[in-house]
A = this chain, B = another copy of it.
Amino acid sequence: MKIGIIGLGLIGGSLAIDLRQLGHTILGVSRNPKTCQQAIARNITHQASPELSLLSPAEVIFLCTPLAALQSTVEQLIPHLNPATILTDVGSVKAPVVEAIDPLWQNFVGGHPMAGTAESGLDAALSGLFIDRAYVLTPIATTPPAAVEIVAEIARSLQSKVYRCQPEDHDRAVAWISHLPVMVSASLIAACMSEADPIVLDLAQKFASSGFKDTSRVGGGNPELGVMMARYNQKEVVRSLHAYRHQLDQFIEQIEQENWIELERILSKTQRDRPLFLAP
């Protein structure tokens, strides 16, 4: 199959590596000519160019640009396509993407491969990134089933676990388990730094170990990524934050009222519930 990839960063580059390995012909597009040269020199893509016209012969095109560039990329891409070409994106928010792209192109399938590393860019691309990771597809009523099946088949060939759901359900679910944790974790770092006594702050920094390290990890990550989550999934992120604050207030109330039996009940429930999110 001839597969096009627009945006040769971590996700686009990793898709290129695996799909080429599977025998597909890979056509890559990056705005940056140096990235194109690198993609060819390192045998990541068969061809690469800053020109979208390179993708005219592609049967499936993966849109791997930042969310902010998706719509304008599709608008510029359309003149070069034949109507059978399937477009799919890899954005981490789905409702606004599907809403924007579906009216522009019949054969569009919203997608979200839930894989990543702390790194970004083509240099960070690696093979096997999608193995055993969730790959979510969000077709709507107007999406042609044949197009969905072709993208699902490609995702399965990457050894991903393929899920299908409504774009809105996807966005609400990732708000809980991906976007909310970033804000919760960042608030922890900000709260510790608010300690006004320099002696106590210094001790806190010296005493911090694995508990603080794990809880603060995603809050100390890439700020642009955090802003992107909040910006493109604003409604669901705000909703999850309010639900979170409500739970936090329950903890504060039980501790203030010295209601240790109720606190133990709540903590026993969180201990029981956590494994539900860690199923293999």
A residues contacting B by CB (< 8 A) are: 114, 133-134, 136, 161, 163, 165, 169-170, 172-174, 176-178, 180-195, 197, 199-200, 203-209, 211-224, 226-227, 230-231, 234, 237-238, 240-252, 255-256, 258, 260, 263-264, 266-271, 273-279
Contacts and interface: CB of A to CB of B under 8 A. Distances in A.
Contacts of A242: 252
Given A163-B206, A241-B251, A248-B241, A216 B172 contact: no
Contact of A220 (B189, B194, B258, B270): B270
Given A223-B271, A274-B220, A215 B212 contact: no
A174 B207 contact: yes
12 contacts: A169-B199, A172-B195, A180-B188, A180-B191, A182-B211, A184-B248, A186-B270, A194-B246, A216-B274, A220-B270, A221-B271, A241-B252
Nearest to A219: B270
Of A204, A242, A245, A258, most buried by chain B (CB within 10 Å of CB) is A204
A227 to B, nearest CB: 5
A269 B192 CA distance: 12
Contacts of A208: 177, 277-278
Given A241-B252, A255-B238, A247 B191 contact: yes
Q: How many copies does the complex hold?
A: 2
The 4 A-B pairs of least Cβ separation, nearest first, read A220-B274, A223-B267, A173-B203, A208-B277
A273 B223 contact: no
A206 B181 CA distance: 16
A164 to B, nearest CB: 10
Nearest to A168: B200
Contacts of A276: 205
Contacts of A255: 183, 230, 234, 237-238, 241
A226 to B, nearest CB: 4
Given A208-B177, A211-B182, A263-B227, A247 B172 contact: no
A92 to B, nearest CB: 11
B177 A207 contact: yes
Contact of A230 (B172, B234, B263): B263
